[in-house]
Amino acid sequence: MITGTPAVGKTSISRLLASKLDAVHANLTELAEQEKLTSGIDKVRKTLIADTDRVSKRVQEIMKSSQRDIIIDGHYAVDVTPAKDVHVVFVLRRDPDELKGLMENRGFKGRKLWENLAAEILDVCLWDAVSACGPDKVCEIDVSGKRVEEVVESMISVLEGRKKCEVGIVDWLGKLETEGRLHDFLKHF
């Protein structure tokens, strides 16, 4: 499973990892849109609202019907996948300055931009993963400034037991506070 805030690189990394492992790639955003597993539109954030119960059922169907490993990709992946079925959760992390630029390039602005940046700064996806699956199944990976291939090789090293999983490797809150810039990111609330 690969999770992290929007624009952190989940889909690009998941696709390459699935290709290298001959695994199935399941992108939750695409799945919810294509199979109409949504419950409406969030007008403030201008985004579809996934029906997590229906997405969860569909994910479990995909897992049961596949003979291959499945790479589940989505910022709410831990909410729709039973922990017992998860081998490892890779939580992708990206420096907030870098992430802000990527989000803006995708058209994020206003509340949607600042809420997602705050989620990255406050470790929301990391703690959701730890809460849902336990710390032993969670691997935090800082993808800041790294190529997709480099990140995927690091993940494969973990999966093959050549590298240990780590949690707590980034502290964006502390970094921004030390730099005197935390207020710049959180003043929008």
Q: Residue 63: name the closest of 8, 121, 24, 101 by CA.
A: 24
Query: Does the pLDDT value for residue 157 go beyond 90?
Result: yes
pLDDT of residue 154: 98
- What is the pLDDT confidence band of residue 166, given thresholds at 50, 70 and 90? very high
Number of structural domains the chain divides into: 1
Provide the residue range defining the domain that includes 35: 2-186
CATH classification at residue 123 = 3.40.50.300
Q: What's the whole-number average pLDDT of the chain?
A: 96
**Residue spans of alpha helices (H) in the chain:** 10-21, 28-34, 52-65, 77-80, 96-105, 110-121, 124-133, 148-159, 172-178, 182-186
pLDDT of residue 74: 97
Question: Is the whole-model pTM more than 0.75?
Answer: yes
What does the pLDDT look like over 21-71, one tens digit per residue? 999 999 999 999 899 999 999 888 878 899 999 999 999 999 999 999 999
d(CA 148, CA 154): 10
- 118 and 100 in contact (C-beta within 8 Å)? no
The H or E element spanning position 108 is none
